[in-house]
Amino acid sequence: MSGAAVVVVGSVNADLVVSVRRLPRPGETVTGGSYARHGGGKGANQAVAAARLGARVAFVGAVGADDFGHEALGLLAADGVDVSATARLDDVATGVAVIVVDERGENQIAVASGANDALTGDAVAAALRSLLPAAGSSPAANPDGTRGVVLLGHEVPEEAVLAGARAARAAGWTAILNPAPARPLPDGLDGVLLTPNADEARALSGEDDVEAAARALAARTRAPVLVTLGGDGALLLDGDAPERLPAPEVVPVDTTGAGDTVNGALAAELAAGRPLRQAVGFALAAAALSIRVAGAREGMPRRDEVP
């Protein structure tokens, strides 16, 4: 892949979505809902978001040799994502997410990781050797010195994340880690841009204040940190002074894919050589558009739709 490029190392699921009037309490059954099935997985969603915004995208992950896996890869390919480096595993099922969404757009999600948990560091390293330029090869294509972006997530094993970070570093590409769900950060993430939401930032840092959390995480990675704040936008720490960036106001229908849209859009913009702050503003606008439609991917915008 040459020029602006994004390689996503992450999860791919089948999303089974039930829409109800309100979310159930523990032990409660809420009836009268509607059902739909969508392509999902945070990594796959982020790949779709980046592709719809004009990036050349490849996806590195794993699915089972089942109908859900075949359908999941077909949906990615239909959005222009290169799935040639995605493993098809015979002895494990494709990941599944069960999502309940209420009439305000809030959600509850339970995930059976399946093949996502079987993605190894060796498999990621081998895939990225074919997708990224070798260390010391031709000069970077973009004005800011980057060749592209490797976008990582926590819905695959730690060894897969670290293999992706190492490959990005060796190729001179930008690495982004969306640490969702939150789990302890390993060593080896120097230079990796973190994009937690507020709850994840607190869990990862041990700090209650979101600015203090961002500072603690930046000290750990020696890289910028972007903390997403839902309808309140985001906090960007790039240097000494944190900056609050607002999100456009919209009426939410389903917030399921908002964070994935932020990450995919951010990766696409950085791969195109945009400055970080500008890329974040664009990503927040894209995410605001995405939550006006039910489904994690259904509302993800094309580039000409983003103001």
- Is the pLDDT score of 295 beyond 80? no
Percent residues over pLDDT 90 in the chain: 76
Catalytic residue, candidates 15, 66, 82, 260: 260
Closest Cα to residue 262, out of 204, 213, 197, 172? 197
Looking at residue 282, its pLDDT comes to: 95
In this prediction, residues 255-273 reach a mean pLDDT of 92
Catalytic (active site) residue 260: yes
Residue length of the chain: 307
Average pLDDT over residues 112-130: 97
Q: Which domains does the chain possess?
A: 5-12+42-94+116-305 (3.40.1190.20)
Q: What is the pLDDT of residues 78-101, one digit of tens each?
A: 999 999 999 999 999 999 989 898
> Which pLDDT score is estimated for 3?
40
pLDDT of residue 26: 94
At residue 2, the pLDDT reads 40
Q: What is the pLDDT of residue 140?
A: 53
For all residues of the chain together, what is the average pLDDT? 92
Is 139:172 a contact under the CB 8 Å cutoff?
Answer: no
Q: What percent of the chain has pLDDT over 70?
A: 93
The answer to whether residue 244 scores a pLDDT higher than 80 is yes
Whether 134 shows a pLDDT value over 80: the answer reads no
Q: Which range, of 34-43, 130-139, 154-163, averages the lowest pLDDT?
A: 130-139
What pLDDT, in 10s, does the model give residues 170-227? 999 999 999 999 999 999 999 999 999 999 999 999 999 999 999 999 999 999 999 9
